[in-house]
Chain A
Amino acid sequence: MERCSFDHRVLHDDLLLINPGKTLDNGNAHEMVQALTDAQSNGFRFVIMDLATLEFLSSAGVGSLLGSVDLFREQGGDIILCNVPAAIMHILTVLDLTEFFTVRPNEQEAAIACGRG
């Protein structure tokens, strides 16, 4: 995951945690798509997306997550969102995504959802 421009850490052999930072918008959404593609290529079946510091999520940012989630689910994995701030959760609610995405309150619960922890 050398190319990943986002803060990230390996939690388990097939579990990666990514923190997209303060903004996921048109400026870096393509980098997120690349990061998720690279994660899958590197054998990570699960990605926990820690959104604790996310302050702005544009439609392109939503797309970067949405367009990749089935890639992981088809391999028996998933992208799990955790520590979602209220404003970001509102965006997901507006787009009817709260039922579609796997959302957990914190990293520990997210790891459990991946069969870890």
Chain B
Amino acid sequence: MPSTLKTNAAIPVPAELGGRAEDQFEERIRAALETSPPTVLLDCAALQLVTSRHIELLWRARLRCQRAATEVRLQNQTPGLMRILTILDLAELFHCMPSPSDAFPGKPAIDPGPAKANYQDKFLPIAGEIVSASERFDAFLAALPAPELTRFELRTIFYEVASNISQHGGINDGIPVAFWAEVGSGRIMMTFADTGREYDPTAAEVDFVARTAAKQRRTRGFGIPMVRRMADAMSYIRSADGRNNLTIVKTWSS
């Protein structure tokens, strides 16, 4: 049962450094990490003029998050920032959310995921492709050093989230759902990115009572409660280019 289910609020990276700006930024990261989120988002919209001190600030944030086994992602990254990170060969180390400057319609909207992902896939949100994608993920899970029940839960989570996107996302633009998974020690982080209608499964007051469901003769609507109960943490963000990004973390004892 997840202890917390939080939608991440992005922490703005200050443009003006000096004074208390850096201390306040690092204090906000420290406070965010206390809630053990799967992801910390850093909003880089203010970074029009990027200096080495900004890069050092981001690097320290990344190290702090890494020590807490938390992913750090950049949001609203400016072209100037990306240019500097690329020159310094750091771009691949910072996972970036899809940029709002990207032209979304007509562009292949498949987010390949972070460079260090252990598993990547894409699939159309239709029944046959979901089954095939589930089987591919199952093959990946077979090699995961996790208990059998954990691997069973992960396959179930994958199937239920993919099915939910298919059934409720209203996606008919032919753009595949992007999926990637990163494996750490005793931990896997899975992310689904889709172009469907906005839906935050972490915020919805959706749960399940067997007696009530049976009395109502309900046959549907148990997928999200199932996922919420199996996951250890979930986070959701609606990116500026209109994609749902759902991240699910599952841990196990090694």
Contacts and interface: CB of A to CB of B under 8 A. Distances in A.
A87 B155 CA distance: 12
B152 A95 contact: no
B137 interface: no
B213 interface: yes
A97 B152 contact: no
A78 B88 CA distance: 67
Given A66-B210, A87-B148, A87-B152, A95 B225 contact: yes
A64 interface: yes
Interface residues of B, number: 30
Nearest to A55: B152
Given A58-B156, A95-B222, A67 B229 contact: no
Interface in A93-115: 94-97, 99-100
Contacts of B148: 87
Interface string B180-194: 000000000000000
Given A59-B160, A95-B225, A100-B211, A29 B219 contact: yes
A64 B221 CA distance: 11
A66 B226 contact: no
Nearest to A99: B210
Contact of A95 (B153, B217, B219, B229): B229
B163 A26 contact: yes
Main secondary structure of the interface of B (DSSP, over half): helix
B210 A100 contact: yes
A97 B229 CA distance: 13
Interface of A: 25-27, 29, 33, 56, 58-60, 62-64, 66-71, 86-87, 90-91, 94-97, 99-100
Given A87-B149, A100-B210, 19 more contacts: A26-B127, A27-B127, A56-B156, A56-B159, A58-B156, A58-B160, A58-B163, A59-B225, A59-B226, A60-B222, A63-B213, A63-B218, A63-B221, A66-B214, A67-B213, A95-B222, A95-B226, A97-B210, A100-B214
